[in-house]
Chain A
Amino acid sequence: MGLGYTEKVMEHFKSPHNMGEIKNPDGVGKVGNPVCGDVMKIYIKVRRYKGKEVIGDIKFQTYGCVSAIATTSMMTKLAKGKDLDAALKISRNDVANALGGLPPIKMHCSHLATEALEAAIKDYRKTGKKKAK
């Protein structure tokens, strides 16, 4: 199929990591717009580990194209287990590179994926902090 996706992208599209919802999440982030064809929603559960706030669990739901699904999957894989500050440092290029690259026209998908994570962490810092154990 002439879409120019790498094998890694196809792998994550076929068997996405961390797909689904978290009941009672500590933070939720939602970005994108159905009109443009992508919506990504990230759920996080935060744990304390050695004095740091760590992403204990992360799940995603995505409406979008192959690269939207693959980038959210990869992003959750990179973020899981990281402390929040380190997770915020994950860049769109990190996600794209971990997938072996994305077609140029699809680079905005990896941008959206990192934005969704940022939104979830922000949400946690604003509202979920008290709940986290």
Chain B
Amino acid sequence: MMDKVYLDNAATTRVDSEVLKAMEPYFTKDFGNMASLHSCGREAEHAVEKARRDISKKVNGKDHKLVFTSGGTESNNFTLKGVAFANRDKGKHIITTKIEHECILNAAKWLEKQGFDVTYLPVNKEGFVELDVFSDAIRKDTVLASIIHANNEIGTIEPIRELGKIAHDHNVLLHTDACQSFTKVPIDLKKDNIDLMTINSPKIHGPKGAGGLFIRQGVKMEPLLHGGGQEFGYRSGTVNVSGIVGFAKAVDIMKDKHLKHMEKIRDMLIDGATDIPESWLNGPRGKDRLANNAHFSFRHIEGESLIVHLDLKGIAASTGSACSSKSLEPSHVLMAIGLQPEDAHGSIRFSVGKENTKEEIEYTLRSLHEAVETLRKMSPLK
């Protein structure tokens, strides 16, 4: 048995040792408050402004302000609520999709209760938003479209540039949640027609509690957090200097070779797992799939049991089965791509990271074959 095989990198990642090293001085030496005037605060401010520049450069963010936040949930809530309330005079309609992360969906539902109107776009079998479905949903009073860049469950990368073009042709703002794709998919905020973009540090070997929102200059936003006016007045509260420095370091050390490696072991997983009878890959293959995501359904077995079997062998993965959720509902993403509930229950997500080895994947595939066989022997469904 292998020690521990961590294949849940879409949930969160290990903080890289280089990231940790970069952060350390900001806990103990340059711990000052950015807002203070003394030199201890200056050092902190320099570090944060450098991080802001470095991260912005990665996505051609010249026309955007990067506002640091506590993570994906905050950036997405800030976007939906901030844009909706600041642009009420223009319209009360928001478009999003059925495959967003819960923080978008639940913020949108809350806005509906406040009198806003939300359309949840369907997706096709591979999880893509279709362009004409999007343009047909746009109304005169639509102010914002929020479309996930790469889906966290099934790894589908949406055609954001084309979607953004449609949004702009109709004078609608485009937000994209890039928590999963940032640093894994090339992004050019200008060319990709993105007005607002959510990014997140703990998905890329950075620290938890750090994230950001790119906001195009001129976009009207209400802040979510009112207070001392930090982060250009968009996000009050003492700035998380160490977290931001760590986030920037994590962005800096993500290299092409890591992506190539992840794609290679992802495809090993895909080939090996779909060898199992009555199993399939969810989401697309090839370049429209996130480099680190492999998501499968296995007929006649249930995901939680499969996850726990693998956990007993030291392998960490995740499932969209109802039995593993607090609501006892199968994953909304799997329902949106048209899976039957009984097939959604038998689903599992592996998300690889740069640290995973070929040997780990081979061990995982052997364990997966065994676990599926054991559970199928136990199952009355044939």
Majority DSSP secondary structure for residues of B touching A: helix
Q: Does A96 contact B (CB under 8 A)?
A: no
Closest B residue to A106 by beta carbon equals B323
Within 8 Å of chain B (Cβ to Cβ): is A40?
yes
The answer to whether A13 touches B302, judged by C-beta atoms less than 8 angstroms apart, is no
- With A36-B322, A37-B321, A37-B322 in contact, is A65–B381 under 8 Å at CB? no
Interface residues of B in 292-345 (CB under 8 A from A): 300-302, 304-305, 307-308, 311-312, 321-324, 326, 328, 330, 340-342, 345
Q: Which of A14, A16, A39, A66 has the most CB of B within 10 A?
A: A66
- Taking CB as reference atom, which chain B residue is nearest A13? B308
Do residues A63 and B312 form an inter-chain contact, with CB atoms below 8 A?
Answer: no
- B381 surroundings in chain A (CB, below 8 A): 34, 39, 63
Are the CB atoms of B379 and A37 closer together than 8 Å? Answer: no
Residues of A within 8 A of B307 (CB): 1
**Judging by beta carbons under 8 Å apart, are B300 and A63 in contact?**
yes
A41 at the binding interface (Cβ < 8 Å): yes
| Nearest CB in chain B: distance from A49 CB, A | 28
* Complex interface bits, A2-36 against B, C-beta within 8 A gives 1, otherwise 0: 01000000000110100100000000001000111
Q: Range of interface residues on chain B?
A: 20 to 34
B380 at interface (Cβ–Cβ under 8 A)?
A: yes
Task: Establish whether residues B380 and A30, one from each chain, have CB atoms under 8 Å apart when the complex forms.
Answer: yes
CB-defined contacts of B37 to chain A, threshold 8 Å: none
Chain B residue, CB-CB nearest to A109: B323
- 104-143 of chain B: CB within 8 A of chain A: none
Neighbouring A residues of B377 by C-beta, 8 Å:
19
- Are the CB atoms of A35 and B308 closer together than 8 Å? no
Do the beta carbons of A65 and B380 come within 8 Å of each other?
Answer: no
CB distance from A102 to the nearest CB of B (A): 12
Pairwise interchain contact B378-A69, C-beta atoms closer than 8 A: yes
With A and B bound together, what is the CA distance between A38 and B345 in angstroms?
10
Let me know if B321 and A65 touch, CB within 8 A. Answer: yes
CB distance from A37 to the nearest CB of B (A): 4
Contact A1 B342 (CB under 8 A): no
Given contacts A37-B342, A61-B379, contact A66 B326 (CB under 8 A): no
Q: B378 touching A65 by the CB < 8 A rule?
A: no
Asked if B378 and A62 sit within 8 Å, CB to CB, the answer is yes
Measured CA separation A37–B340 after assembly (Å): 11
Most chain B Cβ neighbours within 10 Å, of A3, A61, A65, A69: A65
Contact between B341 and A62, CB atoms less than 8 A apart = no
Chain B 353-379: CB-based contact to A (< 8 A → 1; otherwise 0): 000000000000000000000000111
Q: Are B342 and A3 in contact (CB under 8 A)?
A: no
Q: Which residues of A contact B380 (CB under 8 A)?
A: 30, 39-41, 61-63
Say whether B312 contacts A64, CB under 8 Å.
Answer: no
Give complex CA distance A97, B350 in Å: 35
- Give the CA-CA distance A23 to B166 in the complex, in Å: 63
Tell me whether A86 is interfacial, beta carbon within 8 Å.
no
> For residues 51 through 87 of chain A, which have their beta carbon under 8 Å from a beta carbon of chain B?
61-66, 68-69
Bound: A66/B308 CA distance, A: 8
User: What is the bound-complex CA distance between A30 and B307, given in angstroms?
Assistant: 25
Cβ–Cβ < 8 Å partners of A38 in chain B: 302, 323
* Contacting pair A35 B312 (CB below 8 A): no
A residues near B322, Cβ cutoff 8 Å: 36-37
Task: Say yes or no: A65 contacts B324, CB within 8 Å.
Answer: yes
Question: Interface digits, B62-100 against A, CB 8 Å rule (1 contact, 0 not)?
Answer: 000000000000000000000000000000000000000
* Given known A35-B341, A69-B305, contact A62–B379 (CB-CB < 8 A): yes
Contact B379–A3 (Cβ < 8 Å): no
- Report 23 cross-chain contacts, Cβ distance below 8 Å, ordered by A residue: A1-B307, A1-B308, A3-B304, A13-B305, A16-B378, A30-B380, A34-B381, A35-B342, A36-B328, A37-B321, A37-B322, A37-B323, A37-B328, A37-B341, A37-B345, A62-B380, A63-B300, A65-B302, A65-B305, A65-B321, A65-B324, A66-B305, A68-B305
Known: A61-B380, A63-B300. 18 other contacts (CB 8 A): A3-B304, A3-B324, A14-B312, A30-B380, A34-B345, A34-B381, A35-B342, A36-B341, A37-B322, A62-B379, A63-B302, A63-B380, A64-B302, A64-B305, A65-B302, A66-B305, A69-B378, A105-B326
Residues of A within 8 A of B (CB): 1, 3, 13-14, 16, 19, 30, 34-41, 61-66, 68-69, 105
List chain B positions with a Cβ less than 8 A from chain A: 300-302, 304-305, 307-308, 311-312, 321-324, 326, 328, 330, 340-342, 345, 377-381
Closest 3 CB pairs of A and B: A65-B323, A34-B342, A61-B380
